[in-house]
């Protein structure tokens, strides 16, 4: 402990920030504490985070055993530990978020509460610095993810180093917010243990879930102590090549060129690689993350900025694998994507990284929290049929606590600087103080962005000085929704931006996506940027099979969606809009905390019995910002709108099944309608449409039942089973029966022919006709797996 404090004293008291590291990012962000946001879009959201989300999450951490874990590790109480070995990080992350919020606005009561939490955390730490409640609590039945000794299962599931990484980030934030060293001392003691245990000639283990690398760099920046940076680099260099692609250990990090595996682990690692590259000058790291970035942005990025296509491993999919309804696009991955792109900009000074950051920020990240600040998404799908709704809490609460720590720091992405280059990266009303080499500058930005494209910037240098103002011209305003060709605009001939200096056309050079105005600036100089805000129709690369024949609406940085509450019959999957349809927009102050709506004429489609021809009816179609969906309950929703009939998903035809009432032994009523929606899957593991499943039940008899409004004569059943083997938990059942209701009793049908039980096809039973008011499927689940149903047809 004494040595840590001595290092801290030297690192902070003696070494100025500029002298702590010889190398660093050439471009540095202007700290969020120097950017005072007062707009109508972000300021209210940050206020909700500070007054609702942070207190709410702290309370949930108490209610769900996160605080008790530390008390048990301190042996001050007995009980049962919470569910996951990484649950400690929820406490760390919400402390980090609270710290950022307190830097924006002092909160003595919150600070006092955080101090009490830090005391509990300190008591849970072992004498040598080890801090991992799931081991130190000495549970009678240890969690299956932890080994018999420290670090034994770190490369798999223990998350010991993951916990340390979030502890380090939290400690740094609290120290910067309050000047108090209590949590920082705990973090440094833990970091010193890692330095003692890991490294050349010691344990050669890489973190199973990356983030400790980022945390160690944060401690290095505070203390100037080289050993923390060296250990961060060691943890990267020791990874691979004989590990699993799931946690990016299938190759040495410098040899990786494509994004694979768990999307959050991956982007935290790429962020750590950028940090270490900046601080060491390692070009091999840069070469690797440059290529990986191109792989993600050119082939694996959702139009919302979300990443991670599949729930199987919360992972990146193959190139152009971007399903919509089953999109994972985890909120944590969106946050990590912003961290990574911010670092890439700091390394290269190219606006394309900020383009990706802005897209993610306004869409795939912001969708992760409700307008009320107390309901959340873990995955952020791009289509839904009522099966997705926001939750008050998750057993794995990483996305909730991550959101609390991210939102207060949004102002820190607005500006950046490099000597006498001042970058304007994001647009929101604010006042900022920036210390350039030439002079101190106060900037005042006034805008109605993202609804309005006019941005006014007043430049007030302390003394008249020469420097360059680099104003990002967003790719979406320059005919390029994203870098590369993954997405393009349907119509290319649109207006361009305008830039005025003191009322006259500004003289500027376009450099790496920035309009660069280099001159001698004086107090009161005014720049006005006017960005075109037409509604654009975005189409995906033809290799993205899920988006063929569809477009997405975008206006400014905002991606739009159709939601049932705004459209006829509460339906949107059945809507088509002509690719040449004209749109109108209107600002609605009364809806969803103020939004710009898009209106367009469209067509509702419906199937007919015994006909492939669709019934088509003209209707008004309304689109809202994607981030605001699911704030009015579960709904029908889509981002990608069909403009070709072959891509439409019409309303079901009025069949016996579609008109029936569904009930089941399943305790999730939202899934019941899936079996009669007439969307036939590509195969048994297809998750592009809703499906019914009984997971995690196994080795039980379950049922699903159709009740008819009046007696029907039926003689055939066709079932398409859900089976997500080999990795998922559902398989085709061991057996099933069809029964009909007669005089209050369930009677097995008399089978005439049986196609058997198989996946990837309909399983038909033909039976002697029965006249009944109800039909039931009785399903025997496999011994070690569950089962599910895509569709159940009856004739």
pLDDT for position 607: 84
Structure letter (DSSP) for residue 355: H
pLDDT for position 653: 85
* Helix, strand or coil, per DSSP, at residue 509: strand
Q: Which of 45, 44, 95, 100 is nearest to 67 (CA)?
A: 95
Q: Which are the contacts of 124, defined by CB distance < 8 A and separation ≥ 6?
A: 69, 70, 71, 73, 74, 131, 133, 136
Task: Please check whether residue 172 is in contact with residue 218, taking contact to mean a CB–CB distance below 8 angstroms.
Answer: yes
Q: Where are the domains of the chain?
A: 1-10+37-238, 239-368, 416-472+498-530, 536-647, 661-794
What angle is formed at CA 386 by the lines to CA 705 and CA 609, rounded to 5 degrees? 60
Taking the C-alpha atoms of residue 651 and residue 604, their distance in angstroms, rounded to an integer, is 8
* Helix, strand or coil, per DSSP, at residue 285: helix
pLDDT for position 4: 31
Residue 274: Cβ-neighbour burial (10 angstroms; 0-12, 13-18, 19+): buried
Task: Please check whether residue 748 is in contact with residue 759, taking contact to mean a CB–CB distance below 8 angstroms.
Answer: no
CATH number of 661-794: 2.60.120.260
Q: Which of 469, 462, 422, 426 is nearest to 442 (CA)?
A: 462
Q: Token digits for 340?
A: 């990574």
Q: Which are the contacts of 441, defined by CB distance < 8 A and separation ≥ 6?
A: 422, 433, 434, 435, 459, 460, 461, 462, 467, 521
Q: Give tens-digit pLDDT for 194-208.
A: 999 999 999 999 999
pLDDT for position 8: 31
Taking the C-alpha atoms of residue 243 and residue 163, their distance in angstroms, rounded to an integer, is 21
Taking the C-alpha atoms of residue 167 and residue 215, their distance in angstroms, rounded to an integer, is 8
**Segment-wise mean pLDDT, segments of 10 residues, the chain, 795 residues:** 30 36 89 96 97 97 97 96 96 96 93 97 98 96 94 96 98 95 98 98 97 98 97 98 96 98 98 97 97 98 97 94 96 98 98 98 98 97 93 95 96 97 98 97 98 98 98 93 96 85 98 98 98 96 97 98 96 95 97 98 89 88 98 95 89 88 87 88 88 94 96 96 91 97 96 96 97 97 96 95
Q: Strand 35-37's sheet: what is its strand order? A: 35-37, 430-435, 440-447, 454-461, 525-530, 498-501, 504-505
Q: Give tens-digit pLDDT for 569-581.
A: 999 999 999 999 9
pLDDT for position 335: 98
pLDDT for position 264: 98
How many other β-carbons are positioned within 10 Å of the β-carbon of residue 647? Answer: 15
pLDDT for position 493: 63
């Amino acid at each position: 402990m004494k040595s840590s404090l001595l290092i801290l004293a030297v690192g902070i008291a003696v070494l100025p920030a500029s002298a702590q590291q010889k190398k660093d990012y050439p471009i540095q962000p202007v700290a969020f504490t120097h950017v005072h946001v007062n707009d109508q879009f972000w300021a209210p959201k940050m206020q909700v985070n500070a007054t609702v989300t942070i207190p709410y999450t702290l309370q949930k951490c108490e209610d769900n055993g996160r605080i008790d874990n530390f008390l048990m590790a301190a042996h001050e109480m007995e009980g049962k530990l919470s569910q996951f070995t990484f649950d400690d990080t929820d406490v760390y992350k919400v402390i980090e978020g609270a710290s950022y919020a307190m830097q924006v606005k002092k909160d003595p009561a919150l600070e006092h509460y955080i101090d009490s939490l830090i005391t509990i955390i300190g008591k849970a730490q072992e004498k040598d610095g080890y801090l991992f409640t799931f081991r130190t609590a000495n549970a009678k039945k240890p969690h299956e993810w932890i080994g018999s000794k420290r670090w034994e299962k770190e490369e798999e599931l223990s998350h010991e180093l993951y916990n340390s990484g979030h502890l380090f980030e939290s400690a740094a934030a609290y120290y910067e917010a309050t000047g108090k060293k209590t949590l920082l001392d705990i973090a440094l003691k833990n970091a010193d243990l890692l330095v003692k245990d890991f490294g050349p000639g010691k344990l050669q283990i890489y973190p199973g879930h990356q983030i400790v690398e980022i945390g160690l760099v944060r401690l290095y920046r505070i203390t100037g102590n080289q050993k923390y940076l060296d250990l961060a680099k060691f943890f990267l260099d020791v990874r691979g090549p004989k590990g699993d692609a799931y946690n990016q250990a299938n190759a040495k990090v410098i040899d990786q060129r494509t994004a694979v595996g768990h999307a959050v682990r991956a982007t935290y690692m790429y962020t750590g690689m950028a940090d270490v590259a900046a601080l060491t000058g390692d070009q091999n790291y840069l070469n690797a993350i440059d290529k990986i970035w191109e792989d993600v942005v050119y082939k694996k990025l959702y139009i919302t900025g979300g990443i991670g296509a599949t729930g199987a491993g919360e992972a990146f999919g193959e190139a152009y694998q971007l399903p919509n309804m089953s999109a994972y696009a985890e909120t944590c991955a969106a946050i990590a994507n912003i961290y990574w792109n911010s670092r890439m900009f700091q390394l290269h000074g190219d606006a394309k990284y900020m383009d990706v950051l802005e897209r993610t920020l306004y869409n795939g990240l912001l969708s992760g929290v409700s307008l009320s600040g107390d309901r959340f998404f873990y995955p952020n799908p791009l289509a839904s049929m009522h099966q997705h709704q926001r939750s008050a809490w998750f057993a794995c609460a990483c996305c909730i606590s991550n959101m609390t720590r991210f939102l207060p720091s949004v102002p820190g992405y607005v500006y950046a600087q490099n000597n006498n280059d001042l970058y304007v990266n994001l647009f929101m009303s604010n006042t900022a103080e920036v210390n350039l080499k030439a002079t101190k500058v106060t900037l005042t930005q006034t805008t109605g962005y993202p609804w309005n494209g006019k941005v006014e910037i007043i430049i007030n240098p302390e003394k008249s000085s020469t420097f360059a103002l680099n104003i990002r011209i967003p790719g979406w305003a320059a005919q390029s929704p994203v870098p590369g060709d993954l997405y393009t605009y349907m119509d290319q001939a649109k207006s361009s931006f305008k830039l005025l200096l003191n009322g006259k056309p500004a003289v500027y050079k376009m450099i790496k996506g920035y309009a660069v105005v280099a001159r001698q600036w004086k107090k009161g100089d005014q720049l006005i940027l006017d960005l075109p805000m037409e509604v654009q129709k975005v189409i995906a690369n033809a290799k993205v099979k899920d988006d063929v024949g569809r477009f997405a609406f975008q206006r400014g940085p905002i991606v739009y969606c159709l939601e049932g509450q705004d459209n006829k019959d509460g339906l949107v999957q059945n809507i088509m809009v002509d690719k040449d349809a004209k749109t109108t927009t209107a600002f609605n102050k009364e809806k969803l905390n103020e939004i710009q709506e898009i209106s367009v004429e469209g067509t509702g489609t419906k199937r007919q019995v015994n006909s492939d021809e669709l019934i088509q009816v003209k209707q008004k179609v309304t689109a809202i910002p994607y981030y605001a969906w699911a704030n009015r309950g579960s709904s029908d929703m889509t981002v990608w709108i069909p403009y070709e009939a072959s891509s439409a998903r019409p309303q079901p035809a009025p069949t016996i099944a579609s008109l029936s009432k569904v009930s089941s032994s399943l305790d999730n009523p939202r899934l019941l309608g899936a079996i009669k929606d007439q969307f036939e899957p590509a195969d048994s593991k297809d998750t592009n449409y809703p499906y019914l499943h009984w997971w995690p039940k196994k080795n039980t008899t379950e049922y699903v039942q159709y009740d008819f409004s009046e007696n029907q004569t039926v003689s055939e059943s066709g079932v398409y089973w859900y089976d997500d083997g080999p990795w998922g938990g559902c398989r085709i059942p061991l057996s099933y029966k069809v029964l009909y209701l007669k005089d209050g009793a369930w009677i097995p049908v008399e089978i005439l022919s049986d196609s058997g039980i198989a996946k990837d096809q309909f399983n038909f039973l033909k039976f002697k006709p029965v006249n009944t008011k109800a039909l039931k499927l009785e399903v025997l689940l496999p011994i070690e797996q569950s089962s599910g149903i895509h569709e159940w047809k009856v004739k």
